[in-house]
Protein backbone atom coordinates (compact mmCIF):
# COMPACT_ATOMS: atom_id res chain seq x y z
CA UNK A 1 0.00 0.00 0.00
CA UNK A 2 1.38 3.40 -0.99
CA UNK A 3 1.53 6.18 1.58
CA UNK A 4 0.53 9.73 0.69
CA UNK A 5 1.31 12.80 2.77
CA UNK A 6 -1.54 15.27 2.22
CA UNK A 7 -0.81 18.84 3.38
CA UNK A 8 -3.94 21.01 3.53
CA UNK A 9 -5.25 23.56 6.05
CA UNK A 10 -8.92 23.58 5.02
CA UNK A 11 -10.25 20.90 7.37
CA UNK A 12 -13.35 19.92 5.39
CA UNK A 13 -11.37 19.49 2.17
CA UNK A 14 -8.63 17.67 4.08
CA UNK A 15 -11.03 15.13 5.55
CA UNK A 16 -13.02 14.56 2.35
CA UNK A 17 -10.00 14.14 0.11
CA UNK A 18 -8.23 11.92 2.64
CA UNK A 19 -11.36 9.75 2.79
CA UNK A 20 -11.53 9.50 -1.01
CA UNK A 21 -7.85 8.56 -1.24
CA UNK A 22 -8.18 5.98 1.56
CA UNK A 23 -11.18 4.37 -0.11
CA UNK A 24 -9.13 4.05 -3.28
CA UNK A 25 -6.50 2.04 -1.44
CA UNK A 26 -3.90 4.56 -0.29
CA UNK A 27 -2.59 5.04 3.23
CA UNK A 28 -3.03 8.76 3.94
CA UNK A 29 -1.10 10.85 6.46
CA UNK A 30 -2.45 14.38 6.89
CA UNK A 31 -0.80 17.62 7.95
CA UNK A 32 -2.57 20.96 8.43
CA UNK A 33 0.54 23.14 8.15
CA UNK A 34 4.18 23.17 7.10
CA UNK A 35 5.47 22.49 10.61
CA UNK A 36 3.54 19.22 10.83
CA UNK A 37 4.61 18.23 7.32
CA UNK A 38 8.28 18.91 8.08
CA UNK A 39 8.08 16.95 11.31
CA UNK A 40 6.63 13.92 9.51
CA UNK A 41 9.15 14.14 6.65
CA UNK A 42 12.01 14.25 9.15
CA UNK A 43 10.96 10.77 10.30
CA UNK A 44 9.34 9.08 7.32
CA UNK A 45 9.49 9.02 3.52
CA UNK A 46 6.05 8.81 1.90
CA UNK A 47 5.54 7.52 -1.62
CA UNK A 48 4.19 10.93 -2.68
CA UNK A 49 3.15 14.32 -1.32
CA UNK A 50 0.00 16.28 -2.16
CA UNK A 51 0.90 19.82 -1.19
CA UNK A 52 -1.31 22.87 -0.89
CA UNK A 53 0.55 26.11 -1.59
CA UNK A 54 -1.29 28.51 0.70
CA UNK A 55 -0.78 27.34 4.28
CA UNK A 56 -1.15 29.16 7.61
CA UNK A 57 2.55 29.09 8.47
CA UNK A 58 4.02 29.74 5.03
CA UNK A 59 4.02 28.84 1.37
CA UNK A 60 4.05 25.20 0.33
CA UNK A 61 6.59 26.06 -2.33
CA UNK A 62 9.08 26.63 0.48
CA UNK A 63 8.73 22.98 1.49
CA UNK A 64 9.01 21.83 -2.11
CA UNK A 65 12.22 23.84 -2.51
CA UNK A 66 13.64 22.36 0.70
CA UNK A 67 12.90 18.83 -0.50
CA UNK A 68 14.53 19.31 -3.88
CA UNK A 69 17.57 21.17 -2.53
CA UNK A 70 18.19 18.32 -0.10
CA UNK A 71 18.08 15.86 -3.00
CA UNK A 72 14.70 14.40 -2.02
CA UNK A 73 12.79 13.62 -5.22
CA UNK A 74 9.60 12.24 -3.69
CA UNK A 75 6.80 12.86 -6.22
CA UNK A 76 4.84 16.03 -5.41
CA UNK A 77 1.45 17.21 -6.69
CA UNK A 78 0.77 20.87 -5.95
CA UNK A 79 -2.68 22.25 -5.15
CA UNK A 80 -2.91 25.82 -6.42
CA UNK A 81 -5.54 28.55 -6.27
CA UNK A 82 -7.37 29.01 -9.54
CA UNK A 83 -5.84 31.80 -11.62
CA UNK A 84 -2.36 31.74 -10.01
CA UNK A 85 -0.14 30.74 -12.96
CA UNK A 86 2.96 32.19 -11.29
CA UNK A 87 2.64 29.58 -8.52
CA UNK A 88 2.32 26.81 -11.09
CA UNK A 89 5.34 28.03 -13.04
CA UNK A 90 7.50 28.31 -9.93
CA UNK A 91 6.37 24.95 -8.58
CA UNK A 92 7.17 23.15 -11.81
CA UNK A 93 10.55 24.89 -12.01
CA UNK A 94 11.29 23.71 -8.45
CA UNK A 95 10.57 20.11 -9.41
CA UNK A 96 6.87 19.46 -8.77
CA UNK A 97 5.58 16.49 -10.75
CA UNK A 98 2.09 17.85 -11.38
CA UNK A 99 -0.45 20.43 -10.22
CA UNK A 100 -4.19 20.75 -9.78
CA UNK A 101 -6.11 24.00 -9.49
CA UNK A 102 -8.61 24.37 -6.64
CA UNK A 103 -11.49 23.71 -6.55
CA UNK A 104 -11.17 20.26 -8.11
CA UNK A 105 -13.18 17.05 -8.43
CA UNK A 106 -11.96 14.12 -6.37
CA UNK A 107 -11.95 11.94 -9.49
CA UNK A 108 -9.46 14.27 -11.15
CA UNK A 109 -7.09 14.17 -8.18
CA UNK A 110 -7.31 10.38 -7.98
CA UNK A 111 -6.56 10.08 -11.70
CA UNK A 112 -3.58 12.45 -11.41
CA UNK A 113 -2.15 10.50 -8.46
CA UNK A 114 -2.51 7.21 -10.34
CA UNK A 115 -0.88 8.65 -13.47
CA UNK A 116 1.99 10.09 -11.43
CA UNK A 117 2.75 6.73 -9.85
CA UNK A 118 2.64 5.03 -13.26
CA UNK A 119 5.21 7.48 -14.57
CA UNK A 120 7.46 7.01 -11.54
CA UNK A 121 7.17 3.23 -11.66
CA UNK A 122 8.39 3.13 -15.26
CA UNK A 123 11.87 3.77 -13.87
CA UNK A 124 14.10 0.65 -13.89
CA UNK A 125 14.88 -1.13 -10.63
CA UNK A 126 18.60 -0.69 -11.17
CA UNK A 127 21.19 0.79 -13.52
CA UNK A 128 24.37 -1.13 -14.34
CA UNK A 129 27.68 0.11 -15.66
CA UNK A 130 30.57 -2.33 -15.65
CA UNK A 131 30.98 -3.65 -12.10
CA UNK A 132 28.69 -0.94 -10.72
CA UNK A 133 25.03 -1.58 -9.98
CA UNK A 134 23.00 1.37 -8.80
CA UNK A 135 19.80 0.25 -7.07
CA UNK A 136 17.09 2.87 -7.64
CA UNK A 137 15.32 1.80 -4.49
CA UNK A 138 16.69 1.94 -1.81
CA UNK A 139 19.37 4.24 -3.32
CA UNK A 140 22.28 1.83 -2.97
CA UNK A 141 25.61 1.48 -4.75
CA UNK A 142 26.74 -2.12 -5.32
CA UNK A 143 30.00 -3.43 -6.74
CA UNK A 144 32.04 -6.52 -5.92
CA UNK A 145 31.17 -7.33 -2.30
CA UNK A 146 30.49 -3.72 -1.32
CA UNK A 147 27.06 -2.25 -0.73
CA UNK A 148 26.80 1.45 0.11
CA UNK A 149 23.66 3.38 1.02
CA UNK A 150 23.90 6.77 -0.69
CA UNK A 151 22.41 10.07 0.50
CA UNK A 152 19.88 11.41 -2.06
CA UNK A 153 22.21 14.09 -3.47
CA UNK A 154 25.02 11.58 -4.07
CA UNK A 155 22.63 9.01 -5.50
CA UNK A 156 21.07 11.35 -8.05
CA UNK A 157 24.44 12.77 -9.08
CA UNK A 158 25.92 9.30 -9.62
CA UNK A 159 22.81 8.25 -11.54
CA UNK A 160 23.22 11.29 -13.77
CA UNK A 161 26.92 10.55 -14.33
CA UNK A 162 26.19 6.93 -15.26
CA UNK A 163 23.41 7.91 -17.66
CA UNK A 164 25.73 10.43 -19.34
CA UNK A 165 28.95 8.41 -19.22
CA UNK A 166 31.83 9.96 -21.16
CA UNK A 167 30.23 13.40 -21.44
CA UNK A 168 31.77 16.57 -20.04
CA UNK A 169 29.10 17.88 -17.68
CA UNK A 170 29.20 21.48 -16.52
CA UNK A 171 29.11 22.20 -12.80
CA UNK A 172 26.05 24.39 -13.33
CA UNK A 173 24.27 21.58 -15.17
CA UNK A 174 25.00 19.09 -12.39
CA UNK A 175 23.71 21.49 -9.75
CA UNK A 176 20.54 22.26 -11.66
CA UNK A 177 19.75 18.59 -12.27
CA UNK A 178 20.59 17.31 -8.79
CA UNK A 179 19.44 20.19 -6.58
CA UNK A 180 16.63 21.40 -8.85
CA UNK A 181 17.69 25.05 -8.74
CA UNK A 182 20.06 27.45 -10.45
CA UNK A 183 23.59 27.47 -9.05
CA UNK A 184 24.50 30.86 -7.58
CA UNK A 185 28.20 31.08 -8.45
CA UNK A 186 29.57 28.84 -5.67
CA UNK A 187 30.48 25.34 -6.98
CA UNK A 188 31.41 23.99 -3.54
CA UNK A 189 28.36 21.70 -3.17
CA UNK A 190 29.05 19.99 -6.50
CA UNK A 191 32.80 19.73 -5.85
CA UNK A 192 32.30 18.17 -2.41
CA UNK A 193 29.70 15.70 -3.69
CA UNK A 194 31.97 14.62 -6.55
CA UNK A 195 34.83 14.15 -4.08
CA UNK A 196 32.72 11.87 -1.87
CA UNK A 197 31.52 9.86 -4.87
CA UNK A 198 35.07 9.33 -6.15
CA UNK A 199 35.98 7.66 -2.86
CA UNK A 200 32.85 5.50 -2.87
CA UNK A 201 33.45 4.13 -6.39
CA UNK A 202 37.18 3.43 -5.89
CA UNK A 203 37.93 -0.05 -7.14
CA UNK A 204 34.88 -0.20 -9.40
CA UNK A 205 36.83 0.46 -12.60
CA UNK A 206 35.25 3.91 -12.99
CA UNK A 207 36.13 7.37 -11.76
CA UNK A 208 34.96 10.97 -12.06
CA UNK A 209 37.56 13.21 -13.63
CA UNK A 210 37.66 16.99 -13.50
CA UNK A 211 37.81 18.54 -16.95
CA UNK A 212 39.05 22.02 -17.86
CA UNK A 213 36.33 24.68 -17.72
CA UNK A 214 34.53 23.55 -14.58
CA UNK A 215 33.31 20.25 -15.97
CA UNK A 216 33.32 16.62 -14.78
CA UNK A 217 33.33 13.37 -16.72
CA UNK A 218 32.38 9.87 -15.53
CA UNK A 219 34.54 7.31 -17.34
CA UNK A 220 36.58 4.13 -17.05
CA UNK A 221 39.85 4.39 -15.16
pLDDT in tens, 116-126: 888 776 667 77
Does the global pTM surpass 0.75? no
Domain ranges of the chain: 3-121, 126-220
pLDDT in tens, 168-211: 999 888 887 776 566 776 788 888 999 999 988 888 888 899 99
CATH for the stretch 126-220:
1.10.10.10
Evaluate whether 60 touches 78 at the Cβ level (below 8 Å): yes
pLDDT of 118: 81
Helix then strand then coil, in percent of the chain rounded to 5, is: 45, 25, 30
CATH for the stretch 3-121:
3.40.50.2300
Three-state SS annotation for 114-155 = HHHHHHHHCCCCEEEECCEEEECCCCEEEECCEEEECCHHHH
Amino acid sequence: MKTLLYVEDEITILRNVAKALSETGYSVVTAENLAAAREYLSRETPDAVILDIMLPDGNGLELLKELRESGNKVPVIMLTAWGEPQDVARGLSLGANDYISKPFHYEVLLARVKAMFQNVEQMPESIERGAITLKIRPMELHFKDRKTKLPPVEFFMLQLFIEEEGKNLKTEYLYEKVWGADMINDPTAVRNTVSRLRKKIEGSGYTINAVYGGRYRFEKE
